[in-house]
Copies of this chain bind each other. A is one copy, B any other.
Amino acid sequence: MAPYSDLPTPALVLSLEVLERNLATMATARPGAALRPHVKAHKCTGIARHQVRAGHRSFTCATPLEVVGMARAGVGDDLLLANESVDPRRLAAMAAAERETGVMVTVAVDSNTTVDMAAAAGLRHVLIDVNVGLPRCGCAPDDARSLAERAVAAGLIVRGVMGYEGHLMTVPEADKPGKVEACMSLLVDAFDSLVDVAGEECRIISAGGTGTYHVFGGDDPVMSRINEVQAGSYALMDSSYGAQPLPFEQALYVVGTVISTTAGERSSWAVIDVGLKSLGMDHGNPHIDGASVWFCSDEHTTFSMNDGSLPTIGDRVSVRPAHIDPTIAMHTDIHVVPRWGENVTEVWPVDLRHW
């Protein structure tokens, strides 16, 4: 990767070539509406626009601000908040964005409260969020029908169900299809339990992520019925997903500058200006090619080169974050290069930050 000598660091740097390759690989596997790309991974309408060009017009969001931001930016025409909100102002803001932009907004609901608040806010479409095994949001599968009845009674259109098997994203590849299918049978059964209540607009069975997108489909009576996958990380990748046998490449690095070096008798190290305030750390330390990362501090990462060499102060170093989603959420901008080693040609704001 080029030195990016004029870039203020720490900086997110994206290769458009790699992004496009990742998007094309996924669009071949899951074209059009078969993928509902998750914008929480990048929080950037600039990237979402490229996902539209790759053929997707329906998107997944994790926060009301992401929904409103996508709608107001005119990116996509079918936005799902795959999360529960009980904030009346934010629910109303999503309803207003739907009315004023014509973009369809759907929210996940998993309780009487979330159904009632969606209806009260003027939202029109919901998915019943079903717990398929990850202890997080989602109703018990047996409760899906009664929630759909309550939603219909409140005037809401139930578009289907969603369930996220997040606990299976990194299980060994050989175990994945069987384990995912066990979760998905709960989701498909929940769908079948409520479809007569919900009517003809009830068609969506939405699930999955970057770690499982490839196990859906085929002739399997359960897996063939998942008609949307909510993958997000595939577009940019990180060291956690990169450790899996997935056909996507790292498209984004956090670029830092060497600010200090120490050549010691027993050990030598270098320090870059990339640290805890520019890296999501929940999946552990980041990765630097050819180097061992010692530790990260608020504004620093200390590392040594595996070949014993010592970088020079001012050198640029590319850091692969362990978890892409919270990393991007710490930055204001993404610096775009056509290919690794070329100059920055565009800056895309991370315009869907916060809530």
Contacts and interface: CB of A to CB of B under 8 A. Distances in A.
Interface of A: 8-10, 40, 62-63, 83-87, 89-90, 110-111, 113-114, 131, 135-138, 140, 166, 257-262, 264, 267, 269, 271, 273, 276-277, 280-282, 294, 296-300, 302, 313-314, 323, 325-326, 329-330, 332, 354-355
Q: How many copies of this chain are found per oligomer? A: 2
Given A87-B257, A111-B261, A332 B354 contact: yes
A326 B313 contact: no
Task: Summarize A's interface: helix, strand, loop or mixed.
Answer: loop
11 contacts: A8-B90, A9-B355, A85-B273, A87-B257, A135-B267, A135-B294, A136-B297, A137-B300, A280-B281, A281-B281, A298-B326
**3 smallest beta-carbon distances between A and B, as pairs:** A281-B282, A137-B260, A84-B259
A264 B138 CA distance: 12
Contacts of A323: 276
A108 to B, nearest CB: 10
A314 to B, nearest CB: 5
Contacts of A277: 325-326, 329
A9 B87 contact: yes
Contacts of A84: 259-260, 271
Contact of A40 (B262, B298, B332): B298
